[in-house]
Amino acid sequence: MYEPRPREDHPHAGGWAPAERLDALGQRLRLMHVHAHPDDESSKGAATTARYEAEGVDVVVVTCTGGELGDVLNPAMDRPEIVENLPEVRRKEMDAARDILGIDQIWLGYADSGLPEGDPLPPLPEGSFATLDPAEAARPLVGIIRRLRPHVLTTYDENGGYPHPDHIQTHRVSMEAVRQAADARLYPELGPAWQVPKVYYQMTLSAGRWRGLNEAMRSRGLEAPYDERLTHRPVDEAYQARITTRVPCADYFEVRNRALLAHATQVDPNGMWFACPVEIEKEAWPTEDYELVINHTSSMPPEDDLFAGIAVEPR
Q: Please give the annotated binding residues, written as ranges.
A: 37, 40, 167
Q: Within 13 Å and on the Cβ side, how many CA atoms surround 285?
A: 22
Residues whose CB is less than 8 angstroms from the CB of residue 315 and which lie 6 or more positions away in sequence, other chains included: none
What are the percentages of helix, strand and coil residues in the chain, rounded to 5?
40, 15, 45
Residues whose CB is less than 8 angstroms from the CB of residue 124 and which lie 6 or more positions away in sequence, other chains included: 113, 114, 116, 130, 131, 165
Distance CA 247, CA 288 (A): 5
Pairing mode, if any, of strands 30-35 and 58-65?
Answer: parallel
State the helix-helix crossing angle for 46-54 and 253-262, rounded to 10 degrees. Answer: 120
Contact 209, 289 (CB under 8 A): yes
Binding site listing for Zn(2+): 37, 40, 167
Distance CA 235, CA 243 (A): 13
Radius of gyration of the chain from its Cα atoms, rounded to whole angstroms: 19
